[in-house]
Amino acid sequence: RRHHLAQVNQVLLFFPLLIMTSRFAQLFARSATRRPAPRGYAYYGRLLAAGALSAPAAFAWCEGRLPGDDGLWHSATAKTRVRQSKETALEVVREVERWQEFIPWCGKSEVVAPGPNGERRFAVEFGIRVGPIFAGDRVIYELEERGNVVHLRSVNAPDLTYADHLEYTVTATEHPEDTEVHVLLKCHARRMAYLQVWKTLQGPLVQGAVACFHSRLAALEDTSVNVIA
């Protein structure tokens, strides 16, 4: 009985998260000339609008199933191009502790104790908190960097609610005029319902994340110009 109650609670807690992500999806689609976002989201509304306007039209998002999986594995890729260098692009990714500054649905991100071999680890809260109730997950990511590739892998599977494996691989390839950024996501959902919800929301969420990424790069560029000036 307790097991079934826990399952019901997980589902009920997931609904506020869906409502919030839908709300952010609406913000992504709004024009900068529309009525400003409600108090508390004004900063993020401006940030996302600027990012959406600065993001190039060439944006691709593909998904697929991993071979031989149990139906709960999911893989997806996203590509975008930026005018900044690959080092600047990867800096935004590797500074996980600062994600909370520019990703609206990231409630908290911080450095935690390193891994057994000194690996860099970060705790990231994704979701929404209403008083003592948190609908989302607190993921511990371990970061590994090799050349132009940054790899993030969850290491606290037993503590996760909606997936027991999350993995991101970000590759930045510099070209003469711009940099191509490629993101590969691999995850394993705990339940098919969670996977279906993610597939429904991933389009707007990924577009919003790309907008945040471009906005952050633009902000870093403006900061460096001001410092030089």
Mean pLDDT score across all residues of the chain = 75
Phi first, then psi, for residue 201 (nearest 5°) are: -95, -15
Q: Is the pLDDT of residue 6 over 70?
A: no
- Region 132-155: what's the mean pLDDT? 91
- Region 65-87: what's the mean pLDDT? 84
Render pLDDT for 9-35 as a digit per residue (tens, 0 to 9): 444 444 444 444 444 444 444 433 333
Specify the pTM: 0.69
The contacts found for 201-206 with CB under 8 angstroms, 24 or more apart, are: 201/18, 201/21, 201/22, 201/25, 202/61, 202/63, 202/76, 203/61, 204/21, 204/24, 204/25, 204/28, 204/29, 205/21, 205/24, 205/25, 205/105, 206/61, 206/76, 206/78
| pLDDT at res. 225 | 39
Q: What is the DSSP letter of 183?
A: E
Convert 103-131 to b/e letters by CB count within 10 Å (16 or more is b). Answer: bbbbbebeeeeeeeeeebbbbbbbbbeee
- Region 96-101: what's the mean pLDDT? 93
What token pair was written down for 36? Answer: 């400003």
Instruction: Give CA 25 to chain center in angstroms.
Output: 13
Q: Is the pLDDT of residue 167 over 70?
A: yes
Q: How many residues are recorded in the chain?
A: 229
